[in-house]
Structure formats: structure tokens, C-alpha cells
Amino acid sequence: MENEIKHSVAFLRKQIGNKAGFSTPSNYLNNLEDDITIKISEESFTKETSFKVPDAYFNNLEDDIFAKVTSEEKETKVISFKERVLKILPFAAAASIALFIGLNSFVFNTSNSNTIDTLSDDDFEYWLDASTIDTDDIVEILPEDILEINEFSFALIEDETIEDYINSIDNTSLLNELN
């Protein structure tokens, strides 16, 4: 008997396929409660409309909208540039004074005085090569009380001192400079 049932079930599956006669859509049971609540809420609403449009409402609608949109022109307040500048001027003056004092105390307070000691040998040699100083310029700078003939004469220098100086000079460096 079981054999006959198996054959009949197999016959039916061949005819209708593997599908059973009844099926539910996917995610049907997940949203079922929400769907039922929505249906009950819709049925509880009344069928009549609670709002009525007044008679001739649309005849005057455009005029009413334009009346609300276009209002009377308001008087605009004009603030002149002169008033703004006069309000800002005291603050700008105070800021510039504070900046001036700050810069004088921090930036310009450095004492970088240039002396002959601060010059490098190359700078001094360049100045001597580039400058055209003659004896008249030196005479104008020196005070008059030291301008005696003995000050500039070589008679006061002893011969031994000159010889010692010449012997102390490195002769090879002089020869290299001449080449």
C-alpha cells in the first residue's frame, strides 16, 4: 500500500512540480502585524471630508497672495562710509601706537653698530681697491692740531724697525700674489 502512495505522490509531483498548492510571499510574516494595524486604522477613519473650501475662494486667491507678498516699501537705513570710518578711527590710532611702541622696544632696540672690527678682511680690501682716496681727503678729515710735518715723515722710524718688518713678511705669499 505504501508503494502505491509513493507512486501517486511521485505522479502528482511530476504533474504540478515541486511547488505545493499554497505559498506565502517572502517576508510576509515579518510585516504582517504592521499591515493589520494600518488596515484597522484606515477603516476607523470617517468617509466624509472634514474640510470645505469657502465659496469663491479661488476667485480672490491670487489677489490675497500678492497682497501678502508685496508689502509696503520700508525706508532703508543708510549708514555712510564717513560714519563707519569715524567709529573705527580711534581703534586704528590706538593699534598703530601700540604697534609703534612694540616695534621700537623689540625690533629697533638692537645695537648693531658697524665698526672697523666688524668688517672682514675681504670687505676692507674691496673698499681699498674701489675707493679713490687721495691725501687731500685725509687732510680734510684729520684735525688741524696733529697736522705737523713730523707726523707724516718717515724720518722718525728707525732703520732697524723697518728691517724687522721686512724680515717678518712672508716672501712666498708676496711672490704668489704677484703671479
pLDDT reading at 92 higher than 90: yes
Question: Residue range 152-163: average pLDDT?
Answer: 71
pTM for the full model?
A: 0.23
DSSP 123-168: HHHHHHHH----HHHHHHHS-GGG--HHHH-GGGS-HHHHHHHHHH
Per residue in 62-89, pLDDT (tens digit) is 888 888 887 677 778 888 888 888 999 9
Distances (CA, A) of 96 to 29, 85, 99, 105: 78, 15, 5, 14
Q: Which residue has the higher pLDDT, 100 or 46?
A: 100
What is the rounded average pLDDT of the residues 9-33? 73
What's the mean pLDDT when you consider all of the chain? 76
Tens-place pLDDT, residues 99-140: 988 888 776 656 666 776 777 778 767 877 777 777 777 667
Q: What is the pLDDT of residue 149?
A: 59
Question: In this predicted structure, which of 48-52, 64-68, 95-99, 151-155 has the lowest mean pLDDT?
Answer: 151-155
Q: Which amino acid is at 41?
A: S
Q: Who has greater pLDDT, 27 or 39?
A: 39
Phi-psi category of 27—alpha, beta or left, where left has phi over 0 and alpha has psi -120 to 50?
left
Provide the residue ranges of all domains of the chain, joining segments of one domain with +: 134-178
Most confident of 27-31, 49-53, 77-81, 156-160: 77-81
Please choose, from the candidates 100, 99, 76, 96, the residue with its C-alpha nearest in 3D space to the C-alpha of residue 88. Answer: 96
- Do residues 156 and 150 lie in contact, with contact meaning Cβ atoms separated by under 8 Å? yes
Q: Per-residue pLDDT averaged across 8-29, rounded? A: 71
pLDDT of 65 reads 86
Cell of 121: 678682511
Q: Is the pLDDT of residue 154 over 60?
A: no
Return the percentage of the chain with pLDDT > 70, whole number.
70
